[in-house]
Amino acid sequence: MTKNVLITGGGRGIGRAAAIQCGRRGWSVGVNYARDDKAAAETVAAVEAAGGNAIAIKGDVAVEKDVIAMFDATIQAFGAITGVVNNAGIVASGSKLADMSLNRLTRMFAVNVTGAYLVAREAARRMGTDRDGPHGLNRGGSLVNLSSAAARLGSPNEYVDYAGAKGAIDSMTIGLSKELAPVSIRVNAIRPGLIDTEIHASGGVPDRAFRLAAQVPLARPGTADEVANAILWLLSDESSYVTGALIDVSGGR
């Protein structure tokens, strides 16, 4: 069944991999991104080359009007949204909490918590069968939140702020899955471990996934495609009886 999916942070990494896999299924994708126009355009082209449809939508998930606009743009382009991948997130340089600035903490939680909650709120409004959509009642759908293994590991001496933000995503997933089940929205979360993506470079350690690979029982970093495989399963009808799940894609770590 053809689906219309909005992916936040879809211009690179896990979001890009998920977008391309949606394209391989012939689905339509709204590719949200924050800054990199070129990367977003390349993702759109890759989705289309894979057999899907896509548009790029610039916007900051920490800004309410941007979140509303990205949902509006996706619906205008493709019709009712049936899947949302709540993926946009940031990390900062490794640091102990005692040395973190207020500016760092404010931005970390604005994007990774408030932004994720805003996206989840709009997903509830745009997919829930208790609300009118552009063509009558919404059809329901699947919300996939991107958490992290850091939520249960804590990331001491590096990213306790990021870990705490992802812990909030776990709690939101569990509660929202119960809240939205009656309106035909399934809510689940993926918790990636050490994945070889650009996010490590944004934290100042581009080879971090390989540097810490010895801590992983499978003895290697994961790939964005391996995480995207789990995301696509949760978006698809193959997971129709799964909601409220926190799925680790972490190599056993």
- Beta strand pairing status for 53-58 and 136-137? unpaired
Q: How far apart are CA 217 and CA 253, in angstroms?
A: 6
- Annotated catalytic residue within 33, 117, 159, 162: 162
Contact 63, 111 (CB under 8 A): no
Contact 229, 188 (CB under 8 A): no
Specify the DSSP element, H or E, that contains 145.
strand 141-146
Q: One-letter amino acid identity for 119?
A: V
241 is a catalytic site residue: no
- The tokens describing 10, both together, are 């879809």
DSSP secondary structure code for residue 249 in this structure: E
Q: How far apart are CA 78 and CA 126, in angstroms?
A: 13
Long-range Cβ contact pairs of 134-140 (< 8 A, separation 24 or more): 134/75, 134/79, 134/80, 135/79, 135/80, 138/80, 139/80, 139/82, 139/184, 140/82, 140/183, 140/184, 140/185
Instruction: Give the residue among 227, 84, 86 at the shortest CA–CA distance from 166.
Output: 86
Report the Cα 186 to chain-centroid distance in Å.
15
- Cβ within 8 Å of residue 37, ≥6 positions away: 56, 58
Q: Which residues are catalytic?
A: 162
